[in-house]
Structure 1
Amino acid sequence: MNTNICDKVNTNDVYENDRNHVIHSWSVQSKLNPLVVNEAKGCYFKDDKGKEYLDMAAQLVNQNIGHQHPKVVQAIKEQAEKLCYVVPSFATESRSSLAKLLSEVTPKGINHFFFTNGGSDANENAIKIARMATGKWKIISRYRSYHGSTYGAIAMTGDPRRPPVEPAMPGVVRVFDPYCYRCTFGKEHGKCNMECVKHIEETIMYENPDTVAAIIIEAVTGSNGIFIPPKEYFTELRALCDKYKILLIVDEVMSGFGRTGEWFGIDNFEVLPDIMTMAKGINSGYIPLGAVGLSDEVTKAIYDKNLFCGLTYSGHPVACAAAVATIKAYKEEKIIENAKLQGTLMTELLEEQIKKHKCIGNVRNIGLFGCIELVKNRNTKEPIVPWNGSGEVMDKVKKSLMDDGIYMYIRWNYIFIVPPCIINEEEMKKAFIAIDKALDIADGYVE
């Protein structure tokens, strides 16, 4: 990697200005010691000391095409020279082209798109549209979920980031998840009679189907632990929505654009959503962008009504140009096919690790959406650190990985394996050598 950028930047100023003036998300500001990063390329980034890290987190699970893809960088430059911004009410080439491209890769029937700034406001606007289309107002979401940090999106979120900012948007009802390793209903998949879906139907009945506008779920649960539902879960959930005239909203913010080895997570389950939300991989985070995709039926329901959704930067020309170039790269460079191929390798490497390390309770992945779940005891399944907590063991695991130049997303007792979708076999094996070493440390904390 070229180091000219780092040579020109006074990294001491970068760090001091950050600590003196920047407020970071999801953090205790007084405890921060942020890494200074000034350059990146492909699957790697460098810190201010010149140390290179293999990015096995794809930053925030959004750098699907890797860092600094030349075609996307060039598209941003060309669009900035031509047209940086116009009001959303005008038609622009990059937005129109993007909408057309999305209609070609999203599930059948999703042909209309409202553009947002990111995933949180994509989910907020999806709820507005669902309520508008159905005339109903309640939203069902899941406890182990994350749909964004804005007040409407955090209201639909189930994880521990929600309670500290409540009260939030009213009308949200939560249900349990298809977390097969820790089934809420004490069942085993194959003998469970899909109690997790029956539970949703029971909840709908208690709430009155005439009040429920939509069910919003991540196609594959992301930051709460990569929970991959059985295929019949979605089949039965789709039937449930049809039965009670409830819209199915699929949140593809994290699971979309190749992450699961398919264009979208829902493609693995052969079910069609009514609304789908997307961000992150839509242009790999190069410029903030999100979108709400609507089925033809939902579009018809709102087409003759005034849409009470609006954003100053909706369909931003530069962001859309980056997305057009990104989607073309997915196709031309067979990035999604690579994600499926490397996902198969990840499955094999994960199975090797669970055989070697007694600290591993469960491993799971779908494409390049993978997770290692660490436990104190395999029989009791007690997490190696408390839920919504941290501990010495996970700090040591993270340090070991960083020392070996491997950057990973670690939360609670989960190690997430979510690299850029351009990763190759050599890089994947390199990461797992470091993971193996870090898990040796975790084995020392097992009962």
Structure 2
Amino acid sequence: MTTDDLDARAKQLDSDHVFHSWSAQAGLDLPVIAGGRGTVVWDHAGHRMLDFASQLVNVNIGHQHPAVVAAIQAQAAELATIGPATANLTRGEAAARILSKAPDGFAKVFFTNGGADAVENAIRMARLHASRQNPGRDTVLSTYRSYHGNTGAAIVATGDWRRMPNQYARGHAHFFGPYLYRSEFWATTPEEECERALHHLERVIQSEGPSTIAAVLLESVPGTAGILVPPPGYLAGVRALCDRYDLLLILDEVMCGFGRTGRWFAFDGHDVVPDLVTFAKGVNSGYVPVGGVIISDPISKTFDDRVFPGGLTYSGHPLAAASIVASIDAMQDEGIVDNARRVGEEAIGPGLRALAEDHRLIGEVRGEGVFWAIELVTDRETREPVGADVIGRLKKELTSRGLLPFTAENRIHVVPPCVVTAGEVDQAMSIYHEALTSVEADLA
């Protein structure tokens, strides 16, 4: 077969036999990815693309990092799998590496298969811990602009449209988090947005009844909902409300953790310590499916003499554990988290702000590290979002110019791997500029 034949066969097999998530199946035209390295992927024919989606915002360390690949290979040769009801050195080392980046007061990690079941089990832990002395504290509060995964409780905790056809879990209520560009609180400054959002949350807590609530669940920085970096003081304010009403705080770091914001954990920059932390994605860049919950000592002690009613066949899988150890070591040794912070401050942020000056479709750019969003509007005064047709055209223009984008609603998320260089950012900015120019000309 020629390389073109391999690409055609990959497309045909995919079309014939693969059922894709979050999609109507007819008419899908997906790019073929045969290989990758760093921030670049390519098809069988060798057509290269900058991956400014990091796939699903998870390839933080970049594609095919040699140390991580070697660690998986070595572990497979030594012990390819083992059940969770065993002690395993690699699993223990993975937990220790994760805890080395967590705040004081966390000594245990529960491993899962991914982010959704990490959230699922964090909710379970919170409910059982909260109800040990006060039975019936089951409710979990989460924001409308959020995504927490596609399992029973995680999807109901999610705030967007994907929750609606999947409401099979009980005990969930939602509130509005801060989003100054489209403020629900008539705010005009970050300080007003923070104060009013916290007041709103407190009223929801009071209205739902604190004695019925187990936890508040938040993405430290909501990702799929729009890279909504919380205003200064907001997360600390939520922590204070949780303390005031004796609620647990779960911070979802599945997408924003392990370097994505230029910090090991996104919450590190917000003067807050949660009770439970969920993780996945960036902890090993998705090389092997894995996630988990970092558990504070008081919650961990709840299960010292009480059985935790949860488990997974592949919890702490040795291949996943080996990839975590290698990923965290490489990110630390190579300064990858610092690179994400520096590139965000010196290249992505300035580049996106320059784009906003040149393009009338851009209403706002926001973000930090390698975690940014371009919000697109038909009119800057009314802030009316562009439609799916405009996003579809932009996606096609970007892809045809050699950039793999991440799009959501009326936004383009600029989320390259943490290893991205300033030169690659400059290349991407030129592609964004060309694509926006083309679409704006068509709309004129």
TM-score normalised to structure 1 length:
0.95
Amino acid at match of 1:413: N
Contact 1:62/1:284 (CA < 8 Å) preserved in 2? Answer: yes
Q: Distance in 2 between matches of 1:75 and 1:352?
A: 41
Q: CA deviation at 1:162?
A: 1.2
Cα 1:10/1:191, change in 2 over 3 Å: closer
Q: Distance in 2 between matches of 1:420 and 1:330?
A: 12
Look up the match of 1:98: 94
Check if 1:28 corresponds to 2:24. Answer: yes
Q: Distance in 2 between matches of 1:434 and 1:193?
A: 35
Q: CA deviation at 1:113?
A: 0.5
Look up the match of 1:338: 339
Amino acid at match of 2:357: K
Matched residue SS, 2:104 = coil
Q: Distance in 2 between matches of 1:110 and 1:446?
A: 53
Matched residue SS, 1:239 = helix
Q: CA deviation at 1:22?
A: 1.1
More off after superposition, 67-76 vs 23-32: 23-32
Aligned length: 437
Q: How does 1:339-418 map to 2 (within 5 A)?
A: 339-344=340-345, 345-385=347-387, 390-391=388-389, 393-418=390-415
Contact 1:377/1:446 (CA < 8 Å) preserved in 2? Answer: no
Check if 1:51 corresponds to 2:47. Answer: yes
Contact 2:221/2:256 (CA < 8 Å) preserved in 1? Answer: yes
Look up the match of 1:273: 274
Amino acid at match of 2:434: K
Check if 1:430 corresponds to 2:432. Answer: no
CA offset digits 1:41-89 (Å, max 9, x no partner): 1111112332100001111100000000110100001100111111101
Contact 2:344/2:370 (CA < 8 Å) preserved in 1? Answer: yes
Q: CA deviation at 1:168?
A: 1.7
Q: How does 1:176-191 map to 2 (within 5 A)?
A: 176-189=176-189, 190-191=191-192
CA offset digits 1:344-401 (Å, max 9, x no partner): 121111111111111111110111100000111111111112xxxx11x212211111
Check if 1:111 corresponds to 2:118. Answer: no
Matched residue SS, 2:100 = helix
Contact 1:396/1:441 (CA < 8 Å) preserved in 2? Answer: no
Contact 2:84/2:316 (CA < 8 Å) preserved in 1? Answer: yes
Amino acid at match of 2:140: I
Q: Distance in 1 between matches of 2:368 and 2:302?
A: 35
Matched residue SS, 1:29 = coil
Check if 1:318 corresponds to 2:315. Answer: no
Look up the match of 2:138: 137
Q: CA deviation at 1:9?
A: 8.2
Q: CA deviation at 1:211?
A: 0.9
Cα 1:187/1:445, change in 2 over 3 Å: farther
CA offset digits 1:170-206 (Å, max 9, x no partner): 1000000211111101111234461111111111111
Q: Distance in 2 between matches of 1:231 and 1:6?
A: 55
Q: CA deviation at 1:433?
A: 0.3
Listed as ranges, the gaps of 5+ residues in structure 2 are 132-136
Q: Distance in 1 between matches of 2:16 and 2:231?
A: 48
TM-score normalised to structure 2 length:
0.96
More off after superposition, 435-444 vs 39-48: 435-444
Matched residue SS, 2:363 = strand
Q: CA deviation at 1:207?
A: 1.1
Structure 1: 4+ residue segments shifted above 6 A? none
CA RMSD of aligned residues (A): 1.6
Look up the match of 1:126: 122
Contact 1:384/1:445 (CA < 8 Å) preserved in 2? Answer: no
Matched residue SS, 2:233 = helix
